[in-house]
């Protein structure tokens, strides 16, 4: 009985699980609008020869990092289509940064919106898609690549000021 009570208590805390245990989309309509930002990172291990080919723009499929940046941005914008219970968000900015080292590359995705729910899934999807794109574009020359350490490193929420237009008497965000 205690185990069942513990499970029920845990399910109460999982906002995507209804009281009868079914998956549900969380209702965020009553939440205040705020500025949301999330940053995720991940790494890909590449052979030195592969890194040299990327630097010299000699990968047959094209410019690896430019393509990975575009893929990450596009994927972040499609998060709600990929992750079933995510809300559709108007992303104000998605930025993909790629830094190389002797062992491979680190990708960072920063996503930002003004809304009622966070953008951590968008940042995670963006970084993962960018990493997968690097993998796809280099798989013909590097069979030892590894994607690892994908994680959320930052999540912030800041209130948005509301300014009233005296003529129309309608609230406007600033």
pLDDT digits (tens, 9 = 90+) for 75-89: 999 999 999 888 899
Burial category of 92 from C-beta neighbours within 10 Å (exposed 0-12, middle 13-18, buried 19 and up): middle
pLDDT at 129 over 90: yes
pLDDT at 172 over 70: no
Cα(139)–Cα(142) distance, rounded to whole angstroms? 5
Cα(61)–Cα(139) distance, rounded to whole angstroms? 10
pLDDT at 29 over 90: no
Q: How confident is the model at residue 157 (pLDDT cuts 50, 70, 90)?
A: very high
Catalytic residue flag (residue 136)? yes
DSSP annotation of 160 reads: -
Q: How many CA atoms lie within 13 A of 66 on its CB side?
A: 7
The pLDDT value recorded for residue 35 is 96
Do 99 and 44 meet the contact criterion of CB atoms below 8 Å apart? no
Higher per-residue pLDDT: 26 or 174: 26
- Interval 96-120: pLDDT, tens: 999 999 999 999 999 999 999 999 9
Q: How confident is the model at residue 152 (pLDDT cuts 50, 70, 90)?
A: very high
Question: Which residue out of 6, 57, 136, 142 is catalytically annotated?
Answer: 136
The pLDDT value recorded for residue 11 is 45
Cα(116)–Cα(126) distance, rounded to whole angstroms? 20
Q: What mean pLDDT, rounded, does the chain reach?
A: 88
């Amino acid at each position: 009985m205690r185990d069942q009570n513990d499970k029920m208590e845990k399910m109460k805390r999982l906002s995507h699980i209804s009281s009868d245990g079914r998956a549900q989309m969380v209702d965020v309509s009553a939440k205040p609008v705020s500025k949301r930002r999330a940053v995720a990172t991940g790494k890909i291990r590449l052979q030195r020869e592969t890194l040299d080919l990327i630097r010299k723009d000699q990968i047959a499929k094209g410019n690896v990092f430019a393509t990975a940046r575009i893929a990450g941005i596009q994927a972040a914008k499609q998060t709600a289509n990929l992750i079933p219970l995510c809300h559709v968000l108007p992303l104000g900015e998605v930025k993909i940064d790629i830094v190389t080292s002797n062992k491979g590359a680190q990708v960072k995705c920063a996503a930002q919106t003004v809304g009622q729910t966070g953008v951590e899934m968008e940042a995670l999807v963006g970084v993962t898609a960018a990493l997968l794109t690097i993998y796809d574009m280099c798989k013909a020359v590097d069979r030892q690549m590894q994607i690892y350490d994908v994680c959320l490193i930052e999540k912030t929420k800041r209130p948005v000021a509301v300014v009233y237009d005296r003529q129309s008497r309608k609230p406007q965000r600033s």
